[in-house]
Amino acid sequence: MGFVKKPDMKLGLVVLAFCGCVAALGQGPVLLGTSVSGTNLVVSGSNGVSGGNYYVLTSTNLPLPLSQWARVATNVQGASGNFTITVSNTFTASTPQRFYILQLQSQTATTSDGMALIPAGAFTMGDTLDGEPDAIPTNIIVSAFYMDTNLVSYSQWQAVYSYATSHGYGFDDAGFSKTNEANQPEPNQPVQTVNWYDVVKWSNARSQQAGLTPVYYTDAGLMQVYTNGDTDAIYPNWTASGYRLPTEAEWEKAARGGLSGLRFPWGDTISWSQANYYGYPCSSNNPAGFAYDLAPAIGYDPAFATGAYPYTSPVGYFAANGYGLYDMAGNVWEWCWDWYGTPYGQPTTTNPTGPASGGLGVRVVRGGVWDIYAYTARCANRSNSYPNHDYYEVGFRCVRRL
């Protein structure tokens, strides 16, 4: 396997300090009235967003750009009307004085099939932060689409797989997940050990099970639904209503969650409180490590490094990004539609679908993985795999058109 924006100020911010003072930052504060009590942050307000999730960020320097504030709590739930939120065991009194920002993380309404709306618009694909030779920044335009908020779980895979195999579909792999103490696959772990061909066929089966028009066919006339075998001669119907893999451009637009120019979906550093990956921080004992990796030690995340491989984490375990998507960094790689190639924007920078053919014979995977360093979890990182390969490191999620 080749493993080779600042936040939208319209969302509203509130600055919190240990002294209890409140200063509005940006337009239309989301929450009003704050205090700090012991090791708990207590937030009371009267104009929260129903169903909204909030970030809590901290800094000792109020004028710092928001991208330099550290995130110390996520997925803080808000509600409409009067409410109180308590974030426990997160804050301690210290000097110098620390300031806190409560920022709306996401207010994404999910569809009945567990998808979030990714809005249309231009974004910068790639970045110059770490010298990626194959991720040169390019202005890309993507139409709006829906994306699974979570990686496809083993239980979700099994439900569609059972339908598919009883309706004429054939697969190379039955899929797998992290096992429990009884050596049985855990239903809420991401499915893995599924190759590219199988997830494309699975997407068609999911479409048919849901009464939607399949996307992938084996003929240019779009008459023969792709259900069996491993073939690269697949013809997508991009206007079909069914489920499909994201293009690489769609995946990166979604992963960034509305932010731009940052390494990760939430900022420029990463820790085990934000994603499941192999820690390799820079230190005097490990000067070759990554300065942006804030894991406290080298190795697997101990919260998940139990039992046998793979050391995946349950889907939806960490906080969502700004579009309400989970696990867009770490856990398992995610298959994309595209053949791997350079540069971006093929055959056009508007809704690009990647190279017409696979010169290297590999398809794109994105997002990083539980057993590799943090650099693979960056939004701009690109990797790839042969489409007939299955690994316990690779899973996927689906998208569909509006």
* Domains, the chain, ordered by start: 9-106 (2.60.40), 111-402 (3.90.1580.10)
Q: Name which of 180-189, 235-244, 288-297 the model is least confident about.
A: 180-189
Q: What is the pLDDT of residue 264?
A: 97
Q: Are 277 and 330 a contacting pair, CB within 8 Å? A: yes
- Percent of the chain surpassing pLDDT 70: 73
- Average pLDDT score over residue span 221-225: 98
Q: What is the rounded distance in angstroms from the CA atom of residue 328 to the CA atom of residue 265?
A: 7
Q: What is the pLDDT of residue 50?
A: 45
**What residue type is 254 in one-letter code?**
A
Span 259-280, pLDDT tens digits = 989 999 999 999 999 999 999 9
Closest CA to 70 of 362, 278, 352, 266: 266
Q: Are 206 and 363 a contacting pair, CB within 8 Å? A: no
The residues near 186 (Cβ < 8 Å, ≥ 6 apart) are 154, 177, 178, 179, 180, 314
Strongest mean pLDDT among 1-5, 45-49, 98-102, 303-307 = 303-307
Question: How does residue 224 score in pLDDT terms, banded at 50, 70 and 90?
Answer: very high
Its pTM stands at 0.77
Q: What is the pLDDT of residue 4?
A: 32
Report the SS3 class of residue 155: helix
Span 179-222, pLDDT tens digits = 988 889 999 999 999 999 999 999 999 999 999 999 999 999 99
Q: What is the pLDDT of residue 53?
A: 55
155 φ, ψ (degrees, to nearest 5): -65, -40
- Average pLDDT score over residue span 319-332: 94
| Six token digits for residue 345 | 């924007």
Q: What is the rounded distance in angstroms from the CA atom of residue 4 to the CA atom of residue 2?
A: 5
- Average pLDDT score over residue span 83-97: 49
Q: Are 214 and 240 a contacting pair, CB within 8 Å? A: yes
Q: Are 289 and 253 a contacting pair, CB within 8 Å? A: no
